[in-house]
């Protein structure tokens, strides 16, 4: 009895080993456990940008044209922990910012000790430079001591700059970029006269060959009935 049971168990075990080995061999041969690689997509999803670019939004001049100093004062409330802005105000963790727009970068008032990242930067606080600084101080001057991450909204930056300009003045603003002309403006100049539909149709008819003339030409130049 035991011999029969052992024999049956052995055959079952042997069959399992054979089945497992066959599965492994077939998988390796037919690459059944690997996904087929598609070299090119089967279809293109319309509307997906290849470069992943995003709309940059209005230009700086356009944003500044509608900037609001009162709105900028509310945003500037985030800065009052480190900065004062009134004329003659004391330096804090950061410098007093009265009249900062237009002055040399990294100078300030009252002998504030700027980092070399700013004091060696060069240039002045133009609208463009201030916009870049407010976007990301670390990107504008790598190594700056200012820990503020920046303002991500262009409208907030424009409003803050307008508020800074209201406290001590500022250089001239950049002009808004003119919108691109419509395609209709590129139409051919017809000397101030626009042809009517009838005139246009007549001009097209005059350019078409006469069927009778074509038939006469093909028949050796003699018109039928001549």
Q: What is the pLDDT along the chain (226 residues), one digit of tens a residue?
A: 556 666 766 776 667 676 666 667 566 655 544 444 444 333 333 333 333 333 467 999 999 999 999 999 999 999 999 999 999 999 999 999 999 999 999 987 788 999 999 999 999 999 999 999 999 999 999 999 998 999 999 999 999 999 999 999 999 999 999 887 654 455 445 455 555 555 555 545 445 444 444 444 444 443 444 4
What are the DSSP calls for 31-99, one per residue?
TTTSPPP-SS-SS--TT--SS------S-HHHHHHT--HHHHHHHHTTTTTT---STTPPP-SS---TT
Is 137 contained in some domain?
A: yes
Residue 112 domain-assigned (yes or no) = yes
Give the CA distances from residue 26 to residues 20, 22, 33, in Å, rounded to whole numbers and listed in that order: 10, 6, 10
Is residue 188 in some structural domain?
A: no
The pLDDT, as a whole number, for residue 182 is: 52
pLDDT at position 195: 52
What's the domain range around 98? 60-166
Report the distance separating Cα 160 and Cα 101, nearest Å. Answer: 11
Determine, yes or no, domain membership for 139: yes
Q: Is residue 23 part of a domain?
A: no
pLDDT value, residue 111: 85
Query: For residue 80, what is the domain's CATH number?
Result: 1.10.760.10
How far apart are alpha carbons 214 and 206 in whole angstroms?
15
Domain annotation covers residue 144: yes
Is residue 173 in some structural domain?
Answer: no
Token pair in block for residue 31: 């690459």
Residue 113 domain-assigned? yes
The count of domains in the chain is 1
CA distance 144 to 46: 44
Report d(CA 173, CA 217) in Å as an integer: 73
pLDDT of residue 108: 76
């Amino acid at each position: 009895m035991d011999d029969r049971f052992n024999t049956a168990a052995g055959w079952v075990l042997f069959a399992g080993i054979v089945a497992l080995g066959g599965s492994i061999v077939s998988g390796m041969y037919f690459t059944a456990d690997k996904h087929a690689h598609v070299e090119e997509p089967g279809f293109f999803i319309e509307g997906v940008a290849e470069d992943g670019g995003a709309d940059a939004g209005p230009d700086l001049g356009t944003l500044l044209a509608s900037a609001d100093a009162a709105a900028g004062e509310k945003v500037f409330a985030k800065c009052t922990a480190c900065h004062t802005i009134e004329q003659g105000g004391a330096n804090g963790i950061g410098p007093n910012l009265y009249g900062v727009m237009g002055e040399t970068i990294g100078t300030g008032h009252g002998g504030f000790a700027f980092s070399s990242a700013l004091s060696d930067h060069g240039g002045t606080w133009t609208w463009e430079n201030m916009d870049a600084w407010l976007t990301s101080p670390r990107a504008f001057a790598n190594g700056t001591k200012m820990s503020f991450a920046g303002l991500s909204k262009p409208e907030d930056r424009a409003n803050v700059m307008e508020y800074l300009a209201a406290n001590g003045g500022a250089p001239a603003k950049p002009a808004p970029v003119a919108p691109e002309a419509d395609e209709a403006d590129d139409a051919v100049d017809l000397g101030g006269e626009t042809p009517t539909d009838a005139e246009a149709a007549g001009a097209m008819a005059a350019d078409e060959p006469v069927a009778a003339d074509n038939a006469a030409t093909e028949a050796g130049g003699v018109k039928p009935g001549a």
